[in-house]
Amino acid sequence: MPPLEDDVSSIIILIFYILQQKKVHITVVGIGDKVLGHEDELAEIGGENVHFAKDFGDLSDLYKIVLDEICSKLVTYTHTF
């Protein structure tokens, strides 16, 4: 039996929480009307790094904002066994 939609959402949120604990920078871009009403869930995933676009044509307006946000983070990689 496939997982219910709520189960899938819970798994995705758990994965993003683990990534955040490992200091992985997460940026969320919601596109279209279907993301309306899911702002809290997207904020739970992306924190302050959540952006919205009406459609794919509006992504060009967000390009510089998202690029600056991502590139302003110090990139380091540490792996422990």
What's 59-70 look like in SS3? HHHHHHHHHHHH
Per residue in 3-62, pLDDT (tens digit) is 556 677 788 778 888 887 888 888 889 898 888 888 888 888 788 889 998 898 888 888
Q: Which residues of 44-59 are buried (b: 16+ CB within 10 A; e: fewer)?
A: bbbeebbbebeeeeee
This prediction's pTM: 0.63
Q: Domain map of the chain by residue range?
A: 5-71
